[in-house]
Each structure stands twice: as C-alpha cells, then as structure tokens.
Structure 1
C-alpha cells in the first residue's frame, strides 16, 4: 500500500513506458500509411469511436468500483482481526483465573503466542500462490516486490518461529494451518475450563472470540480464493485496447477534415497531422491507467504495491500483544520500502 501522498512519476513510467512506446509507434504508422502511402481507407469517422470511448469509460468506472470494493472489504476484515486480537489479549490476561488458585504464567503466554502464530500463518497463506509477477523494483501496478524472508510472509518461518516442533508437525499435516491453530486454542480453553480456570460464562465469551476470528479468516479466504470475475476484468482490458487501436484511425479523419477546412498546404497539413500523435498518446494513456488501477486492486492479498499491507498489520498485532504480556523482545514496526508498506 502506498503511504506517500502521491505516486512517483518514475513508478508510473516503469509500468507505462512499453505502452507509451507502442502507442506512439502505432500512431506514427497510421500517419505514415495515410499521408505517405495515401491509404485513405484506413481513416474512420470519429463519432463512432467517441461513442466507444464513452462506453469504455463507463465500463472501466464500474470495474474500478467493483475492484475497490474488494480491496476495502479486505482492509475492513483485517481491521476487525486487529480489534479481535486486542480483545483476545485482554481476555487472556483478565478472564482466565480461579479464586484461591494461581495460574502458571506460561498458560497465558502460550495462548497469546499461538494467536500471534495464527495471525502470521493466515498472512502467509494469503500471500501464497500469487498471480502477480515478481519484480526487483517498485512498480505502480500489477507487480509485487518480494523479500524472501519471514517478515514479509514469504516463508513458513513467519509462523514456525512461534510454535513448538510438535505443533508445527501437527498443524502442517493439515490442509489449513491457520484453522487448526484456532482449533488448538479452543482445545486449550476447554482444558482450562475443566481445570476450573474458566466458568461457563467466561468460556463461552472466549469461544465467541475464536468464532469471530474464524469469521475473519473465512472472509479473507473468500476474497483470496474467489477471483475477480474474469468476464469483467478481461472484457474491460479488451474494450480498452479496441478503443486505443481505433483512436488514431479516427484522429486521422478528424485532423484531415480540419486541414481541409483551413486550406493548409501539403507540408503544413503533414505537420499538423503529426500533432495527433501526442494527443492520441495522452488519451490512450488515461484509459490505460484507468484499466490498470482497477486491475491492481482486484486481489488485495497478493503482495502488490497497492495491496492491503497484511505483513505490517500482522506485525502491529504481534507488537501490541507482546506489550500486553510485558515481553521484552518486542519487534519494531514494519517500515515502508520505497514509499510502499507491505
């Protein structure tokens, strides 16, 4: 997620320069074919192309709104996970007790440690199987910057460091690591209830917290495992390219009509017609960026530069829970990399 106020121009150019070169070449070829080789049949009226442009812009607006809704839902879910984690930490410290009996501090530490492991396991699972192409530098759209270490949830060590060897073997033998970490939390609460450290009311209240965490995990998995409708995404890209390809053909007709109206010489007419190239480039680039913006927010957990910063949010949860326990080995918050928080 970008945390700077604006996106640096060089980030946009890294994604856009092949497109800009391609559109410039195509516009130049259209001018050459029309003016030098006099293939006048290539030009088309501008009114139909304008109509297509209006339709494409409305379609891209719908696509962008739909993609942003997925991104915003993902951010809301992780906001709820942060709130639920704080509630869990507070409850572990204050609801587990028995009159006249002292609870081993390791029990509370174990419950909080396993919860932190669950958060990191969930982030690791959400970052797995990305459809985005890895890049060695920051791009504005469609790429992800990968750090092969646990901090960015690219390796299982992101959650393994918090679990015992027995727990690692048990949960990794299952199909969903995060699910079974929450199940183990429920098992531990049952044991504490049997030992008298939780009455029925407090036991139900803490199980309800686990249910809410299951709900948040399920919402994340729904977003991750349900791809953005490809008919919406692919047709948006297709319509955009149809408009971009037709645009210089329509501009040739429009600029030629203007030169005829002004009775320009042949040389002046060619110079004037060359002006259509930068205008074609500008308009095409605007539509290209509109399409890329929607594409970059389709899948908010892939680790792209515009995605929800789940690694930073997971670190925030870890810091706050460790501080609740009074632990001395609290990690530092995640810092942006080149203006991007992951």
Structure 2
C-alpha cells in the first residue's frame, strides 16, 4: 500500500516507460511512411477510431472499477480480522480461568500466541505466487521491487512459527497443506479440552468457538479472492481493445491532420506523434493500473498491507497479555508498506 499523497512522476514514468516506447514506435512508423513514402492510404477517418476508443474507455473503466472492488473487499476482510482478533483476545483473557494465576496466564499466552501463528500462516499463504499474478512475470513490476521488500519472501514460515507454537504443534502444522486452517483446528481442540477440564464454561466455550468460526469465514473470503482471478475474458478483451486503439490512433490523427494540411498548406502531420503518444499512454496506463489492482495479496506495491496489519494485531494482543517488550510497528519504506 502506498502511504504517500500520490505516486511521484520519477516513480510512475519509469514504471510505465515501456508503454511510452510502444507508442513512440506505433506513431513514428506510420507517420514516416505517410510523410516520406507518400502512403496516403494510411490516413483513415476518425469515426472508427472514436468508436473503438469509446469501447476501450468503457471496458477499461469497468475493469478498473471491478479490480478496485476486489482490493477494497480484501481490505474490509482484514478489517474484520482486526476486530475479531481483538474480541478473541478479550474473551480468552476473561473467559478462561484457573485457580493458579500463573497457570492461567500461561494458558492465555499459549492460545493468543497460537492466534499469532494463524495470522502468520495466513499471510504466508496469501503471498504465494499464482500463475495468473503479475508481480513476478511483468518486468516493470519486478523492477519496482527495488523500492520495497515483501517480508514473506524474505523470511521462512518455519522460523516465524517457532516463536508461537510448541514443537509438536509446529511439526504437525508444517506437515499440512492449509496451515492456517489446521492452526484454528488445533485451537478449537485446545478450547474443547479446557472446557472439559472446567476452565471454560459451556456458554463461554460456545462464544469462543463462534469467534473461531468467524476467523474461518474471513480466511475463506481471503482465499476466494486469492484463488479466483479477475475473469480472464474481461482482462483479455480490455487488453485487445486497448492495443487495437493504440494501433489505429496514429492513423486517425494522420487522417485528421492531412485535412488540415490541405486547408492551411502547412505540414503539421508530425503532430501525430506527440498526440498519439499522449493519448495512447493514457489508455495503456489505465490498463496497467487495473492489472496492478487485480490481486490484492500478490506482493504488489498496491497490495493490502497484511504484514503491517498482522503486526498491529500482535502488538494489541501482547499488550492485553501485559507484555512490555513489544515488536516494533512496521513502517513504510519509500512510502510503501506491506
């Protein structure tokens, strides 16, 4: 997530420079052929270009709206995880009681640390790269990684889970496919055991199990966004329409400017180049921005900051436990926080 007021031009232009290069070639070649070789047939009426531009604008607007909705839904889901985590922490602290105060604190810590393990496993799962994601396949995204780091790619899940799980639980969780799911399963088993021992009343046990159910619901919503890409048919048609428009734009400008040459007698056909570059860049960048918003967990600079959110939850719950040595909050690097 970018925390600045806006992207700076010295970041944005290099990120989109290949679109500019593309439009430079697409505009200079037909203009040169028209001007030097007299290929007058390259000049086409503006009407078909305008019609195609309308269709491209419509489908680009639709895609950007839908991809933004995916990103905003992901942020809402993690907002619910924040609230559920705080509620779970309070319930654990106040619902689970034993005669031995030190034992009670140890049980509270074990359960809440297990919740930290769930947050860790979930964010590692969400940062796994899918074949349809663009963060590691598009050169401009790979280049932009120099401005920030994705913590889940820099560390090892086993090392992070060791701080929160017992050796036996860690071995079991690492042997499973969906680790976040199994951590909540272990959590539920431990709550049942405490209920059978009389350390949680039946009513409070039900309330805690409902909290686990809510966490499962939020995890499932995250997995739905992660494992279901923006529909390929809409993504493809947007790409095709935009590229077709960029090819026809210089030809339409040549057609319009050639009419002005006949009226004024001045050769202004080379204005095709800057006009085509500017307008084509706008449409190509709209397509690229929509693409960069499709997958809000992939490790893109525009991602939902799930690492920061997880750390903030950890800080809140550690304070509930009365701990004083808290991990530092994650700060933006180059105005980007993950």
TM (normalized to structure 2)? 0.93
**CA deviation profile, 1:130-149 (whole Å, cap 9, x unmatched):** 533449x9x68996566375
Q: In structure 2, how many angstroms separate the alpha carbons of the residues matched to 1:140 and 1:170?
A: 36
Counterparts of 1:132-151 in structure 2, within 5 Å, are 132-134=134-136, 144=145, 147=149, 149=151
Q: Is the 8 A contact 1:305 1:340 kept in 2?
A: yes
Say if 1:188 and 1:39 are closer, same or farther in 2 by CA, change over 3 A: same
TM (normalized to structure 1)? 0.92
Partner of 2:215: 213
Counterparts of 1:249-268 in structure 2, within 5 Å, are 249-262=251-264, 264=265, 268=266
**What's the offset of the Cα at 1:188?**
0.8
Counterparts of 1:1-342 in structure 2, within 5 Å, are 1-97=1-97, 102=101, 103-130=103-130, 131-134=133-136, 144=145, 147=149, 149=151, 154-156=155-157, 157-262=159-264, 264=265, 268-269=266-267, 272-342=268-338
**CA deviation profile, 1:71-107 (whole Å, cap 9, x unmatched):** 1110000000000000011111111125x66553110
**What's the offset of the Cα at 1:287?**
0.7
Say if 1:19 and 1:148 are closer, same or farther in 2 by CA, change over 3 A: closer
**What's the offset of the Cα at 1:12?**
1.1
Q: Is the 8 A contact 2:126 2:297 kept in 1?
A: yes
**CA deviation profile, 1:240-296 (whole Å, cap 9, x unmatched):** 01001110011100000111122x1xxx41xx1111211111111111121112111
Say if 1:141 and 1:247 are closer, same or farther in 2 by CA, change over 3 A: farther
Q: Is the 8 A contact 2:26 2:246 kept in 1?
A: no
Q: In structure 2, how many angstroms separate the alpha carbons of the residues matched to 1:289 and 1:234?
A: 15
Say if 1:59 and 1:288 are closer, same or farther in 2 by CA, change over 3 A: same
SS of the residue 1:104 aligns to: helix
Aligned residues: 332
Q: Is the 8 A contact 1:85 1:317 kept in 2?
A: yes
Q: In structure 2, how many angstroms separate the alpha carbons of the residues matched to 1:94 and 1:80?
A: 21
**What's the offset of the Cα at 1:165?**
2.2
**What's the offset of the Cα at 1:328?**
2.8
**What's the offset of the Cα at 1:329?**
2.6
Say if 1:261 and 1:159 are closer, same or farther in 2 by CA, change over 3 A: farther
Q: Is the 8 A contact 2:127 2:299 kept in 1?
A: yes
RMSD: 2.0
Q: In structure 2, how many angstroms separate the alpha carbons of the residues matched to 1:202 and 1:231?
A: 48
**CA deviation profile, 1:197-252 (whole Å, cap 9, x unmatched):** 11111000000000000000000001100111011111101110100111001110
Structure 2 spans left out of the alignment, 5+ residues:
none
Q: In structure 1, how many angstroms separate the alpha carbons of the residues matched to 2:244 and 2:150?
A: 39
